[in-house]
Amino acid sequence: MQVDVAIIGAGAAGMFCAVEAARRGKRVLLIEGAAAPGEKIRISGGGRCNFTNLGIAADRFVSENPRFALSALKRYTQWDFIARIEGAGIAWHEKTLGQLFCDGSAKQIVAMLVADLEESGATLWLKTEISDVQQAKTGFRIATSRGVVQAEKLVMACGGKSIPKMGATSFGYKVAEQFGLGIVETRPGLVPLTFAEQELEPLKPLAGVSVTGSVATGKTRFDEALLFTHRGLSGPAVLQISSYWREGQPISVDLSGQTDAGAHLREMRGQAGRIAIRTALAQILPERLARYIEDISATTGNLADQSNATLDRIAGLVHGLEMRPVGTEGYRTAEVTLGGVTTDALDARTMEAKTVPGLYFIGEVVDVTGWLGGYNFQWAWSSGWAAGQAV
């Protein structure tokens, strides 16, 4: 089979790129290993797909060069994508922090992209394995389980390593290495943090407790909900910080984002000094957490027995609990893969490899990783669109 453009990976970025290129009149073949296209879109955002964010900006992306993403993000914006889904009759709403979700189902976005693919004339091969990619005299030669494909241009859109159960492979990184492009070390991102057995033991009774607070590592901090699990910590604030946290670093957890625990404890001491510390804490924290803080504060007696310094120390535990994760839940549950094909190797406008004309990398396989909140899909749409104009 001979085509103008072969795209490997029918996820968000690959499908978007295929439609754009085919609409420009290119003969496009989209090759997918799984049985269905857009599987991660389908399961995303709790089944409602957080498809973009109103607050797209460079500081919402983790990369060795966060500004790299801006060119594509400015040329195909969140407003362009919103117009696209509105054109397809898909209703949406803002949930929180600029995060936009479908009112109905994520399947609507997959269906829109599949319909666009069909209308554009692009060909989609599902359940297709690729055994080899080589540069040919002109373009590329791709050996697949359906035969050899000869393509003028090759777009790698095979995503990251997250959720191998859903078809994630390291193929994109392998091809980049084969063609001599650098890879920024990959690691799981937007992933729950885990603790060693010793640290986990006293936290076990807290499994299921959630609070609105914040989590920080170094100078980076996220104010959102966090959740104690039977393995460690999860929830939006923790997933966000996981993209910045490194092995061996502590995290600082604020368990009460809304209320100043020190002021509350002093006020309660004045009003009802005979109550237990945990009773006063339970007015601003879930009861199990209040008990935990009292336990680790190693204080005895009622509120009235405590000095200002002791109340400040307890408040310090509420607002700056230092915890030492031992790791993450890994690619099994990570929403994204940090690192990837170095942006130095790519043209920010077209996503083409600077040293290999005709070879493109888009979406998650590139060293561009968004925060939780729709940023990763916007990067997939924008980078897919940019390559779709150039191939």
Ligand X SMILES: Cc1cc2nc3c(=O)[nH]c(=O)nc-3n(C[C@H](O)[C@H](O)[C@H](O)COP(=O)(O)OP(=O)(O)OC[C@H]3O[C@@H](n4cnc5c(N)ncnc54)[C@H](O)[C@@H]3O)c2cc1C
Buried b (16+ CB within 10 A) or exposed e, 120-132: bebbbbeebebee
Pick the closer one to ligand X by CB: 97 or 275: 97
Among 108, 229, 376, 382, binds ligand X (CB under 6 A): 376
Helix (H) or strand (E) holding 361, with range, is strand 359-361
Residue 309 Cβ, how far from ligand X at the closest point, in Å? 46
Cβ(258)–Cβ(283) under 8 Å?
no
Instruction: Answer yes or no whether residue 363 interacts with ligand X by CB under 6 A.
Output: yes
Residues binding ligand X: number (CB under 6 A): 36
How far apart are alpha carbons 234 and 206 in whole angstroms? Answer: 12
CA 23 centroid distance within chain: 29
Q: Which stretch binds ligand X (CB under 6 A): 33-41, 70-78, 237-245, 247-255?
A: 33-41
Q: Is 133 in the site for ligand X (CB under 6 A)?
A: no
Q: Residue from 25, 43, 83, 344 that binds ligand X (CB under 6 A)?
A: 43
Q: What is the sign, positive or negative, of the torsion defined by CA atoms of 304, 307, 308, 312?
A: negative
Nearer to ligand X, 33 or 192 (CB): 33
Contact between 34 and ligand X by CB under 6 A: the answer reads: yes
Q: Can you tell me which of 81, 377, 381, 385 binds ligand X, judged by CB under 6 A?
A: 377
Minimum distance from CB of 150 to ligand X (Å)? Answer: 18
Asked if 108 touches ligand X (CB under 6 A), the answer is no
Instruction: Pick the closer one to ligand X by CB: 139 or 159.
Output: 159
Please report how close the Cβ of residue 190 comes to ligand X at its closest, in angstroms.
7
Q: How far, in Å, CA of 387 to CA of 182, rounded?
A: 20
| Among residues 19, 251, 293, 380, the one that binds ligand X under rule CB under 6 A | 380
Choosing from 3, 5, 6, 13, the residue that interacts with ligand X (CB under 6 A) is 13
Element (H, E) at 73: helix 70-75
CA–CA separation, 354 and 65 (whole Å): 16
Which tokens belong to 302?
A: 């009622």
Residue at shortest CB range from ligand X: 11
Site for ligand X contains 236 (CB under 6 A)? no
DSSP 366: B
The most distant pair of C-alpha atoms in the chain lies apart, rounded to whole Å, by 85
Q: Is 10 in the site for ligand X (CB under 6 A)?
A: yes
CA distance 226 to 233: 7
Side chain identity at residue 161, one-letter code:
K
- 140-179 positions binding ligand X, by CB under 6 A: 157-159, 162-163, 167, 169, 171
∠174-179-182 over CA atoms, to 5°? 70
Contacts of residue 48, defined as CB under 8 A and 6 or more positions apart, other chains included, come to 101, 102, 103, 104, 105, 106
Q: Is 328 in the site for ligand X (CB under 6 A)?
A: no
Tell me the window of 32-40, 79-87, 294-302, 346-354 that interacts with ligand X (CB under 6 A). Answer: 32-40
Q: Given the rule CB under 6 A, which residues bind ligand X?
A: 8-14, 31-34, 39-40, 43-45, 49-50, 130, 157-159, 162-163, 167, 169, 171, 335-336, 363-364, 374-377, 380
